[in-house]
Amino acid sequence: MCDTRKNGWERKVRKVIPYTPGEQPNRPGMIKLNTNENPYPPSMAVKKALESFPFDQLRLYPDPAVGSLTNALADYYGLKKENVFVGVGSDDVLATAFLTFFNGEKPILFPDITYSFYDVWAKLYRIPYEQKPLDENFSIVKEDYLQENGGIIFPNPNAPTGVLQPVGFIEDIIKANQDVVVIIDEAYIDFGGESCLPLIEKYDNLLVVQTFSKSRSMAGLRIGFAMGNEKLISYLNDVKYSINSYTMNQPSIVLGVESIKDDSYFKETIQKVIRTRERSKKKLKELGFSFPDSYSNFIFATHASYPAKELFEELKQKDIYVRYFNKERISNYLRISIGTDEEMDRLFEALKDIMEQ
C-alpha cells in the first residue's frame, strides 16, 4: 500500500522486513534438520541444576552483569571478565554490536550469501551496507574487504555454506581494517574450525561472537557471547544498559555456567556431530549431491538432477524438515543440519525413495 493512504501515525512507523527463522514444528516422530540445532541434549550437569533451581529466586531480578557466566566464560577461554559480553543468544549480541559499532557513514561489508539476519539489522538501524559476492566456490574474496568501509562482519564458517576461512586469511582482513570494527560470527566454529579468538590480543578492533545454541545444545536457553578488547566490551555494555539491564534470565545464567564446567561432555558431543557429518558427506555424494566442504553442523547440498525446492517439499511430506532459501544463487541448494546417525539414515532413505519415484 502506498504511504499516502496510511494514517498519520502509520507513516511514522519504523517499517522493517523481519528475518524469517526456520519453522519450529514439534510432532512426535518427525525429523528436524532445518535450524542447525544439536541433536543431543545438554550436559546432565545442566539437567541437575535445572531440577534444583531455587524457585524462590525467580522473585528477584537477575544479575545485570551476568557475573557468574561471564567469569566462567573468561576462565574457560583464558580471558579477563572485561573481555566478555553475554547476551540473549548471539542474535542479541550481534544486534547490539551492529547498533554499537556500525555507526559511520561508509557502508559496512558482508558477503552476498551469508546469515540473513545481517541485512535485517542493517536496515533496522539504518546502517548503509554493501554485500560482496562470494566466489564460485562460495569463498570470501579477500580483496573485496580491503576497500574503505564502515565495518565488516561475516560468519566463520560461513552460513549457510559451511565454508571455513583460515585464521591467516581473516587476520589479513582485520589488519587492513584497523579503523573499523571487524566482527567474526563464530556460531559454528566448535565443529572443527580454528577460532580467531587469539587475535583479540593483537587487534583491538576484533570482536569474536559465539553461541551456546549449536555446539552446547542450548538453543532454547538463548545464550550468546562476544569476546574482545576491554574497550569494545565496555562500549557494548553501555548500549546494552541503555536498552535493558536485565537481559539474561536467572536459569539461563545458572545453566550456562554448568554447561561450561562439563567440558568432556561438550567435546564428546562435538565429536559425535563431526563423525556423523563426515559420514553424511559420503552418503550425500553417493546419492549424487555436491556441496562445499563443511566445517559446521550442516551441509549445503545441491543435486544436478533434482531441484532443491522439490526435494524440500517432498521431504516435508515425509515429515523431514531441512532448510530451503528461495534466494538468488542458492535457490537450488538445501541446508541440511546434522542430526543423529539414525535421523540422517532416515533422511538418506527418504531421498532415495523420492529419487526413485
Nearest approach in angstroms of CB 42 to ligand PMP is 14
What DSSP state is assigned to residue 156? Answer: S
**Among candidates 285, 317, 248, 304, which has minimal Cα distance to 89?**
248
- Joined together, the cell numbers standing for residue 191 give 565443529
Residue nearest to ligand PMP (CB): 89
- Cβ proximity to ligand PMP, 161 vs 306, nearer residue: 161
- Cβ proximity to ligand PMP, 187 vs 207, nearer residue: 187
- What is the rounded distance in angstroms from the CA atom of residue 58 to the CA atom of residue 24? 28
- Cβ proximity to ligand PMP, 280 vs 337, nearer residue: 337
Nearest approach in angstroms of CB 125 to ligand PMP is 17
- What is the rounded distance in angstroms from the CA atom of residue 122 to the CA atom of residue 55? 40
Nearest approach in angstroms of CB 134 to ligand PMP is 14
**Among candidates 152, 147, 156, 161, which has minimal Cα distance to 113?**
161
Nearest approach in angstroms of CB 94 to ligand PMP is 6
Nearest approach in angstroms of CB 113 to ligand PMP is 12
Q: Which residues bind ligand PMP (CB under 6 A)?
A: 89-91, 115, 155, 159, 185, 187, 211, 213, 219, 224
- Cβ proximity to ligand PMP, 38 vs 303, nearer residue: 38
DSSP 308-339: HHHHHHHHHHTTEE-EE---TTTTTEEEEE--
- What is the rounded distance in angstroms from the CA atom of residue 53 to the CA atom of residue 57? 8
- Cβ proximity to ligand PMP, 92 vs 343, nearer residue: 92
